[in-house]
Chain A
Amino acid sequence: MNMPHVDDGTLHAYLDGELSPPEAQAVEAHVAQCPACRTRLDEERALIARAEELLAQAAPPDRELPPFRPPDVKPPARLWWQVRTPLAWAATIALALGIGTYVGERERGGPQLAPTGRERPTIMADQLARPAPAPGPATASAPDSAFAEQRQRLAERRLRVSKQAASPAVVGAMEEKSAADSIARGEATPVTADGYLAAKAPAPSPAHRELMQLSTYGGAVKGPPIGVDSARLLLGSDPLAVPDLPVRGIYRARMIGYTGMVIVEQALDSSTVIEVINGRRSPLALDAVVVTGAAAALPDSQSPGARALLNTRAADSLAAAPRPAPTPPADQDKAKRAASGLFVDVLGPLPPDSLAALKRLLRPLPP
């Protein structure tokens, strides 16, 4: 034999198909005339097979490939018929939430009569909307558990609400929301009583919207921790945070109506944690589509009777909607941000004015 034995590494490389053709030929030539190496080749082949078998036993469950979702910076150019179904779902759920809140308040005979914060569907909304601090369960010393509890309540609430709002009611809710939105925006709509309603009750409409928004994102599902890069991608811009506060974590969150939602957790002090909610509204957000699309479609598709019903419902909703009269100053700010597509809010076991103050401090998180 004019060639030394083939070493293990080369045998494995040969069996793995990683040798160049001349190298592979050299191995074959040697093995052909060397029984010892032939035996070793078989042994190594068995070893490789066994190792693969073992690794296969430690493989994750084979799941379907999730769709590639590169966080797009530009709004996706989707066609309306591709969008309609998910959008309809989003609208249904979000509106069921809103109407459920309203129905719930009526059931209990109004917000003032609710004895504790326990049954309140939208504690966060109340906290923000009320000028005076309302010490409830949410201001307990363990912020995490308090929030978990809140979310739990909201989730239960949502479940109950979606049961109440069976399909006809949901359709009604959708119409009502579109009407309420039109009023809130002061838009001319084909609904005849709108002028009257808008003149009579100009203030409650934004409050009503506010309430819905808050109760909706209160139900956001907090996901796994992510890096700043991913947060930026999800939002299409820098996530906002309170400067000079240590960031405890950045989390992805999911919520219908938002293409991207990020929660920045920051420690205010050793025992207080605040959450900065950054949400990028879907380019096909509820207001945008329901108002322009549905309202425009109303005169053609709705019978006069249905329209009358719609008016009554809208009036009801405005009359019965809880109206926290003084709106926090941060609202305009928020409205502006919401309009620009980014929705930001600060949650934490603090009085509303403190939260509002923190919100005014928000700055883009440095990379």
Chain B
Amino acid sequence: MSDVSADSLAEIYRTTYRALVRFLYRKVWDAERAEDLAQEAFARAVVHKPENARGWLFIVAANMARDEARRAARERRHLTLLTAESQDGTPTSDDVFQEEQERVQVRTALEQLTPRDREVLLLWDSGLSYSEIAAHTGLAPGAVGTTLARARRRLVEAHEAGEKGEHAARG
């Protein structure tokens, strides 16, 4: 029996790992860290053998990312590391710089959403269905569409406002 569950978990890994990394990346903003956390989540799934492994993985990942954010806030080390990385880690071609700028703008816009709106948006973007999102967040299934509509609108608006602000600042 344990072989069966290991097989199905391997299948879930194949189909969900990238989505989980994507989800985590938008929370920790560090690709390697996101991958480590995703691995960690799967390692825990192997132990706990949850029934709905996919939903379970995202809940565990969300919790880990939250703990991570708390610790980072406590230690005030995370941002320093990120900055150091983005300054000397990558080749400073214009394209890379441009991509980095875009990423920062989207990140800033995302951070202006309410936690619930953001969570729903990120879960949808990671491939979860409305019913999975409802189970994850405790929303009524009928409320997911409304939340998602609001989240998308706010993201786009906040991003536009940020771009305008950027242009104004550049003057």
Contact = CB atoms under 8 A, between A and B. Distances in A.
Interface of A: 7-13, 16, 18, 44, 47-48, 50-52, 54-55, 57-63, 65-66, 68-71, 223-224, 226-227, 229-230, 232-233
Interface in B144-162: 144-153, 155-156, 159
A51 B152 contact: yes
Interface residues of B, number: 51
A10 B147 CA distance: 11
Nearest to B41: A230
14 contacts: A8-B150, A9-B144, A9-B148, A12-B145, A12-B152, A47-B156, A54-B155, A54-B159, A58-B26, A60-B21, A60-B34, A65-B14, A71-B46, A230-B44
A365 B110 CA distance: 40
Chain B interface SS verdict (over half): helix
Interface string B34-58: 1110011011101100000000000
Given A61-B31, A66-B35, A16 B145 contact: yes
Given A51-B156, A233-B47, A9 B146 contact: yes
A60 B31 contact: yes
Nearest to A52: B125
A63 B106 CA distance: 21
Contacts of B26: 55, 58
Contacts of A226: 40, 43
Q: For the complex of A and B, list the 6 residue pairs with the smallest distance between their C-beta atoms, beginning with the closest.
A: A9-B146, A13-B145, A9-B145, A58-B106, A60-B25, A51-B152
Interface string B123-161: 011000110000000000011111111111101100100
Nearest to B160: A50
Interface of B: 6, 9-10, 13-14, 17-18, 21-22, 25-26, 31, 33-36, 39-40, 42-44, 46-47, 99, 102-103, 105-107, 109-110, 121, 124-125, 129-130, 142-153, 155-156, 159
A9 B159 CA distance: 21
A7 B146 CA distance: 8
B42 A68 contact: yes
A47 B155 CA distance: 10
Contact of A229 (B39, B47, B107): B47
A58 B149 contact: no
Given A16-B130, A16-B145, A16-B148, A227 B25 contact: no
A48 B106 CA distance: 15
Contact of B156 (A12, A50, A230, A232): A50
Contacts of A7: 146
Contacts of B47: 229, 232-233
Contacts of A8: 145-146, 149-150
A57 B147 CA distance: 22
Given A58-B106, A65-B14, A66-B35, A12 B43 contact: no
A51 B10 CA distance: 31
Contacts of B125: 52, 55
A59 B103 CA distance: 8
A328 to B, nearest CB: 34
Contacts of A227: 40, 44
A227 B67 CA distance: 12
B106 A55 contact: yes
A57 B36 CA distance: 21
A57 B106 contact: yes
Nearest to B105: A57
Contact of B106 (A18, A54, A223, A224): A54
A233 B46 CA distance: 9
Contacts of B9: 68, 70
B143 A230 contact: no
